Each structure stands twice: as structure tokens, then as C-alpha cells.
Structure 1
């Protein structure tokens, strides 16, 4: 505790402005001080993510500068003329963090390419590749609540950093003794000296051209009525733009969620998979009698949708969207004669296995990777190295992330919005909704359901408790879940199924599997149940029973 209070005192003396005031405000709260200083904010393959505030375990201008200095040193050590691209979303302090990072990089003689305004994560991934940068930074906390922000780091391939690269960057970060010793010139002076320059609109146009290249439809005027919400994030301009370019004329934007707002006043949890975040979109869809709702998260890499079916809006899960898009792209590209002989679909291990049956009908191959789109991006890199990239058709994860083109190496809410809109129009022209098409898929390949439960473990003690409970199951896995026998237990920490070691446990049962893992971005445990059957009756209750049985080990 002495070191915690020592750090607290140093920060009180050396921070300025908002960050000093924020720390003064909690001086009468020992537990809060402990949580802010008991560790440094974790830097991993996804970069940083944490609550905004003063302290070593918070997202603030000083932790951003420290991480940027370590990342900058790493990039300089690997390249003779290094460059980095930067983008940011609508969150509080995203602009300030992005500009602070740019100043640090410029101080290390790294050429900085930064967007002049907020832009989506997929556009940052594209810019890194297009501008041939050595790294990229996206300031975002994705769909977390307003209290959070983050700092995602990308390699020269536009994919999030590999484990090996992250460890090297972490060593550079940890070697920085004094977080307050990092000195830079001003952003404006670096602009004048051209160490920092704004990314041109040409990059945006090339990105949009690549998005359109993934279309399997024409750009003729379309009759479908669409409600779109960017959830006060970075998706407003590019998603509205791509829909306009593809001929969608009846698009209504949720006015309260149209403009960037890091406080997310109408959606405190700006997650496009959450019904409460889409309540205003549903209200507008009912007023306009819209057929489809599209919703992107603040950095526009995820997409949630709602579909009008039998007069009411029904939200569709991430797995269901993945199933529909894979089926649509495979069938349409086959019909148009553009499908590879052996197409590849990539998914994460916690996403639906129904895709195996669909791909089989097209002589396709399904590749499973660990949770996180960085592993999908890495797999694309492997295909590229083997000159097999043309086989790639689609990638997805159950948490509402989708990719349909290799021009980016992360999930892309812009291309997903375009494809879902075109797919919905395609089936409406056949007097079908996406729900009707989903039912046809289930009738052909079998019914599937997936459930997800997140359990929060707060603070230092919470994280410790979560890991202890995971280890307890790892060391003594149950042979039954409820009344159902576990056929196989898998511990992915052992590096099984040709995958890197990861803290994931899996239980295989008759026509079902249950997986548990700690979240990579939040202090939460995630539990997934995936079940299948030739008939829908009892399927959901089966999944719920399995979920309840495994949950008992954690509460």
C-alpha cells in the first residue's frame, strides 16, 4: 500500500488541469485510490482499454504518452524511416489522446499520418496498409460505456499486433521509469514541420471503392426502408455515404444518435447488440414503417440489425447475421460465377458451427481461430503468403464483427452495413424477410441457438477471484452439466487444435458445446452455449440448462 500512496502523491504533484482535479476528487476514497494505482493499465495484443481518469490503472493523457513512447521506440528500432497512422472515434478524450500520441511519435522522428476528424476502425486498418505505415493507432473503447476509452495498436499489415510484437512493445513501455519525463513540441509545430500530416480524402475514397468491390448487388435505386443509428459514433458519414452510393434512397437516421457524442446520452451502453441501445431506432422504424435497422458501435467496426417480420421488429444475433451473410455471399457469388473453387470462411471458436454445413455445399473450407478479430486478420496474412487470398469470401465472430474483403484486417461495420442492406433488399424482392431466409437455412441444415452470459468481476480482488474459479474448473472439470454428460473437455491453454495457447475452456456435449473465457477488454467472464438440433423444440431450453449449470461455478 505504501507504493500506492507514493504513486498517488507523485501524480497529485505532477498532473495538471482536468487530470489533477480528477485525482483530488477521490482523495477521501482509499479504495478508489488503490484501484487507480495498484497496477499499470494492462497492455496486450489489443493495446490498452480502461476507465478514463488519473492514475496508472486509468486511461489518461499520461498513460497514453507512455504507451506511445514505448510503441514509438519499438517502431524506430524496426524501421529506418518509420511512419504511423492514427484515427479516433467520438469518445471523450479520443481527440486529445490521438493528438498526444501523434506528438510523442513526432518527437521520435516518426512520420505521423492522422485523420483530421473522427473515422472508423476499419478505415484506420486500411490507411495503415494503403500508406504503407509501420504501425497504426486507433483511439477507441469500441462498445464499452462512456466511462471507458482505449488505444488499439496495429502492425504494418493493418492487423492488431501479434503476441510477439506486443511483448516487445511492452518491454519498451516498462523500461520508462518516469511517466512525466516525456517531452514533446506542440501538434501545430509538428504540422508546420511536416512531421505530422493529415490523411487525404483520397484514402477514404479508395477505402469506399474497396467496400463497393465486396458487393454482389447492383447500385440501382432500392425500395427498402432503412433506419440507421451510428450510436453517436464514427459511422455516421461512411455508412450513410455507402448506402447512398449503392442506391438506397429511403434511409432514416436516428436524430438523437446522429452526431458524435462521447457521453452517449441516449445509449449509456452503446453496444449494437443491446436492445436498450436500439430502442430509439426501433421507435423510428415503427414510425417510418421501416423494413430494416442498422446500428454500428462508436468506432463502427461492429454491426447490429433489426428486421421487420410479421409487422414487428426483431433483433438478430451476431451468429444469425454471420450465417445469413455467409449463405448470401456464397450463393450469390456462385450464381454470378465469381465464387472460388474452394472458398474459405473464417470464424472464431465461440461462433456457430452451422457454417460448416453451409460451406460444405459450396466445397468450402471453414477455418476456426481464437476469439478476437486479430486472429482472423493473421489468418488472412497466412493465406496471402500462400497466394491463396482469392479463396477468402467472408469472416465473422458472434460478437457482431464481419469482414468480406482483404483490404482491411479487422472487422468492418461499413461493409457489413452495405451487405446486410443489399441482402435484405434481395430477399424482400422475393417477398421474404431475413427471418424467412434464416428459417429456410435452419430447415435445410438444422436449427441452432447460442446464448452468452457475462459475469463481471470488479477490481483487483475480482480479477483474482475470476482466475481462481477458472483454474478450479481447469484442474477439476465437471463430467456433467446439469443432467447432460460432458463428452469431451478441452483446455485451450494447452495449445490444442493447432491454435495458440489461450485461457479458454470448452465442454463438448451431444449436439452442444459450452465455452468459458475471460474477456480481453473488460473485467468480465464470458460463457457461451452453442446447441443444434433438427427440430427447434426444446433447443433453447437445452442451451439455457447448460448455461445455468456452468454459471453455478462462478456465482
Structure 2
């Protein structure tokens, strides 16, 4: 009997199998069985994320329990104080999110660990805030972020409200992997054990909203702007509307997308990186002559932006909106003489160079991290402790940013408030946010940033992604589209290759990322997604003007597709 068949038969015949999964298992064909059982769903440095359903390679009550029991063992290893401090638990609008959250709380209770569970869906950044506000030992967030409706996921946080960095995640992974039978774990609690579970809500909400409102740099700005806002059926709906109302902004919600619908029925996609997320918001904007469009992903850590410019709506990339936010924040800090000493901005190795140039123009240092906001959170904690540098902003290219670090993850409600303030501020000066971006291009050079995500599902897809990276390492490109590669960085091998010499790349945890710097000032990076079955190609292309940058981008994209054998 194959490993797949052994695992399948074990699940079908196990007395502890949750009844909801039995009919689904019995209806599986050979291909479905293989995909559900060919491997154990990976609990990695970003937690777990995967398709919902029964099987060892799926997100379900049993794989969630295995992860939670591993986390519980990790907590208990830190002593009674950690168990008493407890764990904050949040969840989004997805199928089974609430069930997974309260089931996890029960399992923690059985292990003698307190938990604080939100009464209903809340944003990921508010979970991060709750960990800090309640003095918890850590946190659990049940979410698949911007993935399609078929997915769910599980993320872990430390006592600082930061997602577990690799060194800590490795300790939890060891505990999770030591559990051999996820089906043997039950969550039946006694009345006494259940007392360890506390349901939280409004008090934490109000504390969070107060902190968000406190980020304003110009609260007195004339709020003569119309904002169309969509939470894409997710957790941003109430927090963003409450914050706008209290700050005095006029917000027009996309009503069809405000219900917490796990099927995302009224949006083609809940991912702000994809055009479909803006379709209905764009119609609302045109009907209401809105100044800006703001779209949040389901767990409200990312914010997409559309701007009315010269009579048309322009959807900004995360690199563009991040650069504009950065320019507004730093310019206002300078103008008000509140720039701290030794200021530092954080972004990632796949974030555009434009932000770094903006920061430098304002006397702010940039430090780069790997993809994953936990690495930015780790840097914030480091400098908070040493006092060596002072945080002023952090962002990723994928629409995630953090204004003030009372949260240690991407925070869309903060970003929505600051973006609205920036739009109102510049409108008083006769500009929109695209005008501000164009000013930055005039000052620092014209950039076009893009991403090509190649979806490769299942076992064959996972192997294909590994092969793409292996082939690039084996036969490293010397030129791309006729432009010489002047420097190559390999974050897995920790090497820099430049001028024919190889030196050590330091300051980063090992990660499967390749980055190629080109002679024209552009760069291209390749990495597998940590949360989806995708191989991602990042392009940061410099041109003489927008047309030149765009044409070069298309040429580089085609060249990379041919180089990696992924051309359609």
C-alpha cells in the first residue's frame, strides 16, 4: 500500500475523524486523494496556509489541532508565566475561521494555557495589537489573507505582536513535527478548563482605534475629499469606517462588498494586487466623483489605492503608494520639526528602489529585509531596545505598510487613514497623489515595478518551482534581454557575485531568493511564494520616462520567461 493510501485509510477509519469530513473523503478520486495526502501540510516560518478540506495536506480541524498542540508544547516549555500570560486569538471571515479559533482556544485550555478570543472577526493588525495590549505571551491569527475562498491559514505571533521569526518558528516547527497522530488530538474541555478562555471585543477595539487616530500628522486638514472604500467582504469594514467617522472623513462604502461573506460573492478576487479587486469600487468612484479608492484584503493588513487623475482613475502599485505615503510622512515630519534622530525606514529586498531614494532625500536611512513583515517587526523591536535608530515607516511592495509600530504587522486601517490625510493635504495644494508620484519620478528617476506570478499547483507544481530556482543557480544568467547582469545575490547560498568574484551575503536569514542587478540600474528577483503555489518574478525597471520604462519592463518579462522556460 502506498503512503497516500495508508494515510487515506487511516483518516477514513479513524474514530476521532470529525464527521464533516467523512463524505468528502469517500467521494475523492485518485487524483484528489493524492493531492490531499501526498505530503504533510508544511508548518513553516510563515505558519500554515492551504486549501480547506480533509487530508494531511489540507487545512482542517485536525491539522489545525496539530499546529496548536505544537504551539502549546512550545508555550509550556517557557514555563507557568507564559501559560498564565496566555495567547490572543483572532480570525477573519473565511470558511471555518471562527471554528478553528475557538477550537484552538479549547485545546490551549486543555493544556493549561489562557486565551483571549475575539468575539467576532477582526483584522490581523488588531490581533497583533491585542497581544501587546493584553500582555500576552503570543497570538494566533486564523486567516488566508488575500488568497481565494478555498483557502485558510494559521499564523503565530510572539509577545511583541510580531509574527514568529525563523529562529522562534523553528522551535514551534520541531514541536509540531514531533506529533505523529493529528487525529488523536481532541478538544473536549471540562467546565473548569473552559474558564481559561476569555472572549474579548469592544474594549480592545476602542484602544486600537484610539492608537490609529493618534497617527495623524495634520488632523486639522480640510477633509474635502470623497473616499470610496471596499473591505472585499473582510475584516476592514468596521475598523476603517469607524476610524474615518471619528477623524471626520467622508467614506462611501462599496455596500455589496461589506458583508463578511466567506465566498467573496461580489468580488472577482479579494486580492488588491489583482485588477478584479477594484471593479465595483471603480464604478462607485465614477458614480460619486470620488477622489480616491481604497481596497483592503480580507484580513485588513493590505491596502490597494486608486486615484482620480486627469479625469481617470489610476490604480497604484504597492511600490507607488508606499513611496507616496513615505514622501508625505517624511516631508511633514521635517516641516513640523518632529523627525527623530537617526531615523530609519524598512522595506524588503523585492521592494522598489524609489522608496530608498525618497528616504535618502529626507535624510532617512533604509534597511532592507527579506519578504515577510515579521522581519520588519524584528528590526523595530531591535532598535526599540537599543535606541540606536528610530523607526519612521515600513512597507512591502505587496500593499502592506506600517505607520506607527504599536502594531507589529502590516496595518491597513492605519494606512487608510494616512492615505486619506495625504490626499486631503495635497488636494489643498492643487495636487492629487499621482501628481505627487510624478514629482518623485522627476526628482529620482522613472520606475516601473511589476510582478509576474506563475501558478503551479500540486506535487508536480511544487517540483517545477524548485526546478526553476535550481536551473537559475546552475546556469546563472550573464545578461538578460541583452543587458549585462552586474551583480547577483543568492539569499539561499548567502553569496554575492560581482565582477567575477563571489563574496558572502550577510545580514539575512537563508531564503530561496535570487536577485539580479542590471547595468541600466534595473533589477529582477525570483522567489517561490511562501503562502501560495506560485513562483514570483519581481521587476524594478528604470527608464528615461514612463513609456521607456514600460517598454523595457515588457522586454525583461519576456526575456525572463524565455530564460526559465515559462513562456506561454
| In structure 2, distance between residues paired with 1:221 and 1:438 | 21
| In structure 2, distance between residues paired with 1:58 and 1:176 | 16
Contact kept, 8 Å, 1:48 with 1:152, in 2: the verdict is yes
**1:157 counterpart residue number:** 160
Secondary structure of the residue aligned to 1:531 is strand
Contact kept, 8 Å, 2:267 with 2:280, in 1: the verdict is no
Contact kept, 8 Å, 2:109 with 2:189, in 1: the verdict is no
User: TM-score by structure 2 length?
Assistant: 0.94
Contact kept, 8 Å, 1:342 with 1:362, in 2: the verdict is no
Contact kept, 8 Å, 1:278 with 1:295, in 2: the verdict is yes
Correspondence 1:444 to 2:443: yes
Q: CA RMSD in A?
A: 1.5
**1:526 counterpart residue number:** 536
Correspondence 1:251 to 2:248: no
Question: 1:13: how far off?
Answer: 2.1
Question: 1:381: how far off?
Answer: 1.2
Question: 1:61: how far off?
Answer: 0.7
Per-residue displacement from partner, 1:135-170 (whole Å, max 9, x unpaired)?
Answer: 100000000000000001111111111212212111
Question: 1:338: how far off?
Answer: 1.0
**1:508 counterpart residue number:** 517
**1:423 counterpart residue number:** 422
Q: Which range is displaced more, 470-479 or 316-325? A: 470-479
Contact kept, 8 Å, 1:226 with 1:292, in 2: the verdict is yes
User: TM-score by structure 1 length?
Assistant: 0.96
Contact kept, 8 Å, 1:103 with 1:190, in 2: the verdict is no
Distance 1:497 1:352, change over 3 A: farther
Correspondence 1:499 to 2:508: yes
Q: Structure 2: which 5+ residue stretches go unaligned?
A: 495-504
Secondary structure of the residue aligned to 2:160 is coil
**1:144-543 to 2 correspondences below 5 Å:** 144-186=147-189, 189=191, 193-218=194-219, 222-248=223-249, 250-388=250-388, 391-495=390-494, 496-509=505-518, 510-543=520-553
| In structure 2, distance between residues paired with 1:455 and 1:311 | 34
Per-residue displacement from partner, 1:18-37 (whole Å, max 9, x unpaired)?
Answer: 211221221xx111101101
| In structure 1, distance between residues paired with 2:145 and 2:87 | 21
| In structure 2, distance between residues paired with 1:197 and 1:266 | 34
| In structure 1, distance between residues paired with 2:222 and 2:91 | 33
Secondary structure of the residue aligned to 1:223 is coil
Secondary structure of the residue aligned to 1:366 is strand
How many residue pairs get aligned? The number is 549
Distance 1:213 1:9, change over 3 A: same
Secondary structure of the residue aligned to 1:453 is strand
Contact kept, 8 Å, 1:451 with 1:544, in 2: the verdict is no
Distance 1:19 1:311, change over 3 A: same
Contact kept, 8 Å, 2:447 with 2:540, in 1: the verdict is yes
| In structure 1, distance between residues paired with 2:404 and 2:74 | 29
**2:103 counterpart residue number:** 100
**1:91 counterpart residue number:** 94
Question: 1:358: how far off?
Answer: 1.5
**1:49 counterpart residue number:** 49
